[in-house]
Copies of this chain bind each other. A is one copy, B any other.
Amino acid sequence: MRRSPRRPLILKRRKLPFLQNEPTQADKQTQHGAAGTGEPTKPAASQCLPHGIPIMNHPSMSDTQVVVIPKEADLQSIIGVLTAKGKESGVQGPNKFILLSESGSRGNGSFCQATVKEESSPAGSTATQPVKSDTIHNIPLDDSLTNIQWLGKMNTSALEPHLANQTIDKEKKLQTHNTNSNPEGSHQPTLQRPPYSYTAMIQFAINSRKNRGMTLKEIYTWIEDHFPYYREVAKPGWKNSIRHNLSLHDMFIRERSPDGKTSFWTIRPDINRCLTLDQVYRVSIVTEGDSPAVALAPQVDLKVEPVNVPTKRETRKPPPKRQSSSSRRKQSLVNSLQDEPILLCPDNSFFDSGVVSDASTSQDVREADSTEQQQHFQGSPERELYFKTPIKSHSHLSSSTPSKPPPSITLEPWKVTPVGKDSQSVLDFSPIRTPGGPVVTPRQEYTTFSFSSTPFKELPLFSSPRELLTPGLILDTMNDSLSKILVDISFSALDDEDLGIANISLSEFLGQFM
């Protein structure tokens, strides 16, 4: 809940399929629509993990949520989902999760009205029983996938072009299509769209080179080799997007080869965070490991050195009522290019030279008060209701931010209608919020078993309060620790909170890669 939100590693705003089948406008409903999909604007439910595992807010810590893990549930899967969820929701969202094992009396709380055994979820496979052996691989995925889930489907061979250094050329590796039925033993890479932005993938590509320079074609090839989605299913416009990103972002600089014949792309060294797919991959591979008390961190040895201590420290904790900073971010980081710590690049096997680079993204303007800042979602599905406001003679949209029509239920594999009595309570298991889907509203309902985000103590969730004292696991997505095991990123500087600028967490380190 501190420091300015880094961009999540897990992609948002990337719903668009980008498949070869064009939008098809099948459900265009051009003028007569806007009444469809029957989303009944319910007060929404408490958040649930897939298969009805509930998540409750902690009564006192706003950044903490409590999860009761059923006995039948797959712990690794849940940890993965929670990690993704925590990272995704940024700083204001929950980033600590207390995992409690269910004490058998599961029929007690009706909070989610969906049991683990529930197999009638209409939106895709249910697949949580570990005996199914496709615990992760069969989770219904789409573009709004978390990267951990996605990585569970990635083949490790997708990383091998790293190891076969320099010989990535034209051999048709990785061309083995998986036939959509992917049992756990097979290790083909998915054709699912990876959850990384173009900018992130370009960084992955360029940073995989020791000289940290790549031609455009090599970037294409690298991405196609490591993310077969782009070779196989994406429309060719993805290359246009790559070029667009290279040109648009100042982070990417085009340089000339010494002979001046070819040009190659580099990353501005002063802002290169040196993230590689390997690092991201290792993070999540470890996440899926055996012991739950395993570090979620990459195996790299990062060193944060407080060089160029910011001179404007007074802006870091603004007076809580003056100026209010009104942070929509980014404008507060003007001229923050110099005064950030130098972050040494990890010298893993892919790098020869430890290029010195300093971080230059955010000035880490943390808001003073983190007082119960419940996350707001704009639950209004969309206001393409015609003539809703008689402002103009426009017969078209009235909102200045375009919005997609709410998708139909079957298009959202995370939306599972529970078997409970109230058919209106559609649970949103998606880690991605869609405006129009059932979202969590901050409305407080202290009285019922309904799916509110009521503080924890109000809900009769457990058969006895003893369970709250169960020494469960604590998953902290802010520093990617599970239980009390801290990540093994060794910060050479202060690591207490709210003390210094060197207090950069892994999630921030990862998150700034958009």
- Is A394 within 8 A of B20, CB to CB? yes
Which of A34-42, A115-123, A319-327 is the contact stretch? Answer: A319-327
Q: Using CB atoms, name the residue of chain B closest to A220.
A: B400
| Contacts known (A254-B331, A260-B322); A236 close to B398, Cβ less than 8 A | yes
Chain B min CB distance to A13 (Å): 13
Taking CB atoms and an 8 Å cut-off, the chain A residues in 220-269 that contact chain B are 231-232, 235-240, 243, 247, 253-254, 256, 260, 263
Majority DSSP secondary structure for residues of A touching B:
loop
Cβ–Cβ < 8 Å partners of A394 in chain B: 20, 235-236
The residue from B20, B231, B238, B256 contacting A323, defined by CB atoms under 8 A apart: B256
Q: How does the 8 Å CB contact mask read for A43-59 relative to B, with 1 for contact and 0 for none?
A: 00000000000000000
Residues of B with C-beta under 8 A to A395: 20
Asked if residues B334 and A396 are in contact (CB atoms below 8 Å), the reply is no
Give the complex CA separation of A396 and B331 in angstroms.
41
Question: Separation in Å of the A465 CB from the closest CB of chain B?
Answer: 44
Inter-subunit contact A399/B326 (CB<8 Å):
no
Report the separation of the CA atoms of residues A298 and B253 in the bound assembly, to the nearest whole angstrom: 37
Q: CB of A71 within 8 A of chain B?
A: no
Give the copy number: 2
Q: Collect the chain B residues with CB atoms within 8 Å of residue A22's CB.
A: 30, 396
CB within 8 Å of B: which A287-337 residues: 322-324, 326, 328, 330-331, 334
Knowing A25-B25, A30-B22, A231-B392, say if A239 contacts B324 (CB, 8 Å). no
Nearest CB in chain B: distance from A72 CB, A:
41
In the complex, which residues of chain B have a beta carbon less than 8 angstroms from the beta carbon of A181?
Answer: none
Measured CA separation A236–B392 after assembly (Å): 10
A22 to B384 alpha-carbon distance, docked (Å): 13
A514 CB-CB contact with B under 8 Å: no
CB contacts under 8 Å to B, within A182-219, are none
Residues of B within 8 A of A423 (CB): none
Which residues of chain B have C-beta atoms less than 8 A from A400's C-beta? 236-240, 243
**In contact, B247 and A330 (Cβ under 8 angstroms):** yes
Contacts of A240 in B (CB 8 A): 400-402
Q: Does A489 contact B (CB under 8 A)?
A: no
Measured in the bound complex, the distance between the Cα atoms of B402 and A22 in whole Å is: 13
A397 at interface, CB cutoff 8 A: yes
**Nearest CB on B from A179, distance (A):** 15
What 1/0 flags go to A17-34 for Cβ under 8 Å of B? 000101001000010000
A396 partner residues in chain B, CB cutoff 8 A: 20, 22, 235-236
Does A237 contact B331, Cβ atoms closer than 8 Å? no
Chain B nearest CB, measured from A287 CB (Å): 33
Q: How far is the CB of A257 from chain B (nearest CB, A)?
A: 10
- Assess whether B260 is in contact with A397, with CB atoms less than 8 Å apart: no
Closest to A19 in B: B396
Note all chain B residues with C-beta closer than 8 A to A402.
237, 240
Given A253-B334, A326-B263, answer yes or no on A235-B397 (Cβ-Cβ < 8 Å).
yes
Residues of chain B within 8 A (CB-CB) of A30 are 22
Given the complex of chains A and B, what is the CA–CA distance between A108 and B109 in angstroms?
A: 94
Closest to A334 in B: B253
Q: Across the two chains, which residue of chain B brings its CB closest to A402?
A: B237
Q: Would B20 and A256 count as touching, CB distance under 8 A?
A: no
CB-contacts of A327-377 with B (<8 A) = 328, 330-331, 334
| Structural contact, B324 and A260, CB atoms closer than 8 A | yes
Given contacts A22-B396, A253-B331, A260-B323, 6 further A-B contacts (CB under 8 A): A20-B395, A25-B25, A232-B392, A236-B399, A237-B397, A240-B402
Of the A-B pairs whose beta carbons lie under 8 Å apart in the complex, a sample of 8, sorted by A's number, is: A20-B394, A235-B396, A235-B397, A236-B399, A239-B400, A240-B401, A256-B326, A260-B324
